[in-house]
Amino acid sequence: MGCLISDSWVVVVLFLPVLWVFYKVWMMMRRNEVERNGGGFAVPRGSWGWPLIGETLEFIACGYTSKPVSFMDKRKSLYGNVFRTHILGKAIVVSTDAEVNRMILQNHGNAFIPCYPKSITELLGKSSILQMNGSLHKRVHALIGVFLKSPQFKSRITRDIENVVRFSLSNWMNKSCQVYVQDETKKITFEILVRVLLSVGPGEEMNFLKREFEEFIKGLICLPIKLPGTRLYKSLKAKERLLKMVNKIIKERKNAMEKTEESGPPNDAIDVLLRDTGDSDEMQQHRLPLDFISGNIIEMMIPGEETVPTAMTLAVKFLVDNPVALAHLLDENMELKTRKDQTCEEYSWTDYMSLPFTQDVISETLRLANIINAVWRKALKDVKIKGYLIPKGWCVLASFSSIHMDEMNYENPYEFDPWRWKKVGAAISSNIFTPFGGGQRLCPGLELSRLEISIFLHHLVTTYRWAAEKDEIIYFPTVRMKRKLPITIMPLQQ
């Protein structure tokens, strides 16, 4: 038996290079075919790299440097702003061109559909918001967007975020005066988002959700192997446990709604999705299935564990590195605090969002951090864009980080300069600032994310001063601090 297994592996190893050669020949033939029919449009130039792994190793290695876009910059210099490569198991076209990116985002559903690495598709499933397409995506996106923009929600969530942030900051002095910002911000934002999605407060359920979600999200970028013991297998098991709990909450809510026939404003995302029945009898037959709702509720937790806390953490780091910006931010927020203390008025959503320098700090943090660095799409047909031909079936990566770090778009792009936003003002093009994506898939929670960061920064700088230990940013598989940004805190002397 052992000899048979050994011989089989020898055959497989010997056959892999042959498969790679056939693959490259097929790709070359396909490229020649589409170029002949391209009418002057050419398939982007580039390299497929090594057999099977392509250029993945260099792509990952750059993610552990201070300039992760160096992978893109090197190929831009060789092949132009749009090039082809082979990374993470996929042959793709990479766009570092703002106009091409805009066309990719705006043409979603007609020419392009989502296309992500296999580990992501395995974990999130075919019915995830990230991967769904067409009318169903528009329906869910619109439902959540309208809910997050409602005046009732804005008023309530502002108070909820303030309570969570104040409570969390008040506990910092009990941690020997040293805290890890990345860990603390994750606690804050995950609790806020779970309230928005499920109306679950602190306690056993919240702890279970956070613990299992942390295990689940580790597998988003990993080798797509589902054998027991692998990262993807562990994450899939964590998702099963999450689904079981979320399904239970949804069923209980559905039963309660049927009994009471409640018609007031929705309290959370579950209410929104359960109540959606449409205006016609035909739509009544197309209620969103409960397993669809639970799967997407879990997916909507991602900003609470990754994007928003990362933005908060990096804003603290950038401010530590720029004392002048920190002082300016403190002055602006102390002025608001003094005014509120004198009038005894509650803070509103508008109060926080109207702090101009604070918003500039957030914009600069999002630009420089590139937490969402790109989107993946797949061409449904041969697409001609700006002289390039993207063949049908090819994947496309629209790089946001390359646009944000291009000196043609931003002067001294690697410098943290919140004042640049005052200079450019409304003149900044949405094509070159895309921290929340764009087109039909523009993140519906972008204003909520800015509010969370604004409230956190306001109460942080008006409560504490701090000194940070040396730390560095890592950009792969996700953006994070290597040491979780440890800081020593002291009460602000007033």
How many other C-beta atoms lie within 10 A of the C-beta of residue 83?
A: 21
Reported as half-sphere exposure (CB side, CA atoms, 13 A), residue 307 has a value of: 23
Q: Are 115 and 419 in contact (CB under 8 A)?
A: no
Burial per residue of 466-475, b for 16 or more beta-carbon CB atoms within 10 angstroms, e otherwise: bebeebebbb
Reported as half-sphere exposure (CB side, CA atoms, 13 A), residue 377 has a value of: 32
The C-alpha atoms of residue 474 and residue 477 are separated, in whole angstroms, by: 8
> CA 250 from chain center: how many Å?
25
- For residue 368, with 0-12 CB atoms within 10 Å meaning exposed, 13-18 middle and 19 or more buried, which class applies? buried
Q: Token pair for residue 435? A: 């921290």
Q: Are 105 and 396 in contact (CB under 8 A)?
A: no
Question: How many residues are present in the chain?
Answer: 494
Which amino acid is residue 217, in one-letter code? I
Instruction: Sort residue 203 into left (φ over 0), alpha (ψ -120 to 50) or beta.
Output: left
To which residue do tokens 């299935």 refer? 289
The C-alpha atoms of residue 366 and residue 311 are separated, in whole angstroms, by: 7
Helical segments of 80-150, H only? 98-106, 118-124, 135-149
DSSP 440: G
Q: Token pair for residue 205? A: 């359920």
The C-alpha atoms of residue 55 and residue 51 are separated, in whole angstroms, by: 9
How many other C-beta atoms lie within 10 A of the C-beta of residue 412?
A: 9
To the nearest 5 percent, what fractions of the chain are helix, strand and coil? 55, 10, 30
Cα three-residue angle 62-65-71, rounded to 5 degrees: 25
Q: Are 304 and 193 in contact (CB under 8 A)?
A: yes
Q: Please confirm whether the linkage preceding 435 is cis (ω < 30° from 0).
A: no
The C-alpha atoms of residue 56 and residue 30 are separated, in whole angstroms, by: 23
443 annotated to a ligand binding site = yes
Cα three-residue angle 181-184-185, rounded to 5 degrees: 85
Annotated binding site: 443
Annotated binding site for heme: 443
